[in-house]
Amino acid sequence: MSASVAHDAACIFCKIIKGEIPSFKLIETKHVYSFLDIQPTSQGHALVIPKWHGAKLHDIPDEYLHDVLPTAKKIAKALNLDADGNYNILQNNGRLAHQEVDHVHFHLIPKPDEKTGLIVGWPAKQADMDQLAKFHKELVAKLES
């Protein structure tokens, strides 16, 4: 990590990127670092992290996000998840959303069976279409401004 890159001296992921804490490194590019998770939910569970310290996705400059999905894709292919494999790509923002480390990170989690890997509950409900249309209009106006 160069001096021009934002980092936090107390952050465990920043320490891993700088080599102060050992890791099972997989792929490193100019902007991302990936390694095997030491508390995996399944074999092959990996993390892909930007080399820019930021707690939430919107804190990370775009150039530090460009390699995230291509890196996850390469790892998925190396794990043969591109054939018949099932897997999740997960990124959490904030404690209520289950973020444990305040440095943006993406999990690649192989899902070989129902009991291994990510276990998700999805409390979906039918939307009120009028309310959804109103919200859509408001959101598009913000996105276009």
Q: What is the pLDDT of residues 101-111, one digit of tens each?
A: 999 999 999 99
End-to-end CA distance of the chain: 34
From CA 138, how far away is CA 8, in angstroms rounded? 36
| Residue 139 forms part of a structural domain | no
| Residue 127 forms part of a structural domain | no
| Residue 2 forms part of a structural domain | no
CATH label of the domain that carries residue 28: 3.30.428.10
Record the tokens describing residue 80, joined without a space. 């043969």
| Residue 93 forms part of a structural domain | yes
Q: Could you tell me what percent of the chain has a pLDDT over 90? A: 80
| pLDDT (tens digit per residue) in 25-75 | 999 999 999 999 999 999 999 999 999 999 999 999 999 999 999 999 999
User: For residue 1, what pLDDT is reported?
Assistant: 42
User: For residue 100, what pLDDT is reported?
Assistant: 93
Provide the number of structural domains found in the chain. Answer: 1
> With contact defined as beta carbons under 8 Å apart, do 21 and 12 qualify?
yes
| Residue 48 forms part of a structural domain | yes
Whole-model pTM? 0.88
Domain holding 71, by residue range, is: 12-119
| Residue 56 forms part of a structural domain | yes
Q: Which residues are catalytic?
A: 105
